[in-house]
Amino acid sequence: MADDTSIGGTRGEFPVTRWSAVVAARSADAAERTRALDALLAAYWKPVYKYIRLRWGKSNEDAKDLTQEFFVRLVEKDLLGSYDPARAHLRTYLRTCVDGLVLNEDKAARRLKRGGDVSHVSLDFDAAEGELAHAGVPGAGSPADVFEREWIRSLFAAAVEALRTECEVRGKTTHFRLFELYDLEDAGRGGRTYADLARQFNLRVTDVTNHLAYARREFRRIALEKLREMTATDEEFRREGRDLFGVEPE
């Protein structure tokens, strides 16, 4: 197998061995920067939007404009160029930048614009607003806690969708459906048992066990790959991985 150590790798993805989206966003290559900035946008736009709504009490429309403005500035003002991973987590740095934007906002109407390196990414603000309405305003925790919770939620949601796509491509839709029913919908609720699922899907209980083991293993792998993209150093990646999964990432 070819060594996958350069940006793009053998499948046009960010390799998990050396680079991250943070590093690639500083690349001199425009295509690498675009892929990296799109990855950062996908991971962080919803935490930024919800944080602005909850921490700063902004209206839906103002929060939309500020979120869009933040990612424009991320490119135009090269905010990542000032990021020092030795001083803070990436999410802490970005949250501080968001605070600065809100504190210094002017009263002029803001409209979405795009920097030269940012391709169009649709931001589903209605879905984000629906999630806020469903969850309600957090009763405890600092604004930093809110941002961290939303960042973790976005990371795991992206991993779930990637797992769904992978299972469809590999003809393992039943594996994903079992994972969805047992680990996502019934998690902590004492709902379906393995025997219930076996009857529902006309499988043996051992098949349910094996299918869930596969889905969980792939979910963890995908989540860690996305986590590595969103961290700037191996040390930060391992620290975040321990916090999220309770074990040292490989």
Residue-wise pLDDT tens digits, 156-187: 999 999 999 999 999 999 999 999 999 998 76
CB 178 within 8 A of CB 208: yes
Residue-wise pLDDT tens digits, 36-85: 888 888 889 989 998 998 888 888 889 998 999 899 888 888 888 888 88
Interaxial angle between packed helices 205-229 and 30-56, expressed in degrees from 0 to 180 and rounded to the nearest 10? 100
89: enclosing H helix or E strand: none
Q: What is the mean pLDDT of residues 196-200?
A: 96
- Report residue 8's pLDDT band, with 50, 70 and 90 as the boundaries: very low
* pLDDT (0 to 100) of residue 134: 64
Q: How far apart are CA 70 and CA 64, in angstroms?
A: 10
pTM: 0.75
DSSP 214-247: HHHHHHHHHHHHHHHHT-SSHHHHHHHHHHHHSS
- Find the range with the poorest average confidence among 29-33, 90-94, 140-144, 179-183: 140-144
Q: Which two tokens stand for residue 64?
A: 């939309």
**58, 157, 151, 163: which is closest to 102 by C-alpha?**
58
Q: What is the mean pLDDT of residues 111-130?
A: 60
* pLDDT (0 to 100) of residue 202: 97
**22, 68, 25: which is closest to 46 by C-alpha?**
68
